[in-house]
Amino acid sequence: MRQGTVLFIATFFLGGLLTSLLPFLLNQTDFIFFILCTSIAFLSLSAIHLKWRQMKQEKIQHSFVVDCELELFQKIYSLKGFIDTGNECVEPMSQKPVHFLSYKAVSKNLPDDFNEALQKWDAKDPYQLGMFPAYVYPKIRILTLST
């Protein structure tokens, strides 16, 4: 709906612009009139083609966004997920695929002790996990990623 409105308004102003330019164009030689009209047509078609490609790309990207549910600490969270077809990261022990999520997406709902442990965790010493609560500690796996 929004794109249709923008197209209607742009067409309205472009039509008004062409109408106001008509007296100027009619006073030109046939060759200049042809060049100007061809330029306007080329620029318009180029803009339409560019917008069409952007819309097609957005549609493709949107097809990879899914609604998903995450169960963490006996709570279920509804999140938006992005299917990364190039993700080949697996958990080393079970060889199951790894899912990445944004800390911002779940930080407000995490238990306080787990949240504090995440804040204290040092990426420079990743195997030091003593700050995590006992109910989480056995489930933590450190993964090395190379992107």
Indicate the domain borders of the chain. 2-62, 85-139
Low-confidence ranges of the chain (pLDDT < 50): none
pTM for the model stands at 0.48
Q: What's residue 63's pLDDT?
A: 83
| 28 contact partners, CB below 8 Å, separation of at least 6 | 36
Distance (Å, rounded) from C-alpha 31 to C-alpha 54? 34
Question: Exposure string (b/e) for 46-74, b if CB count within 10 Å is 16 or more?
Answer: eeeeeeeeeeeeeeeeeeeeeeeeeeeee
pLDDT at res. 129: 87
77 in the Ramachandran plot: left (φ > 0), alpha (ψ -120 to 50) or beta? beta
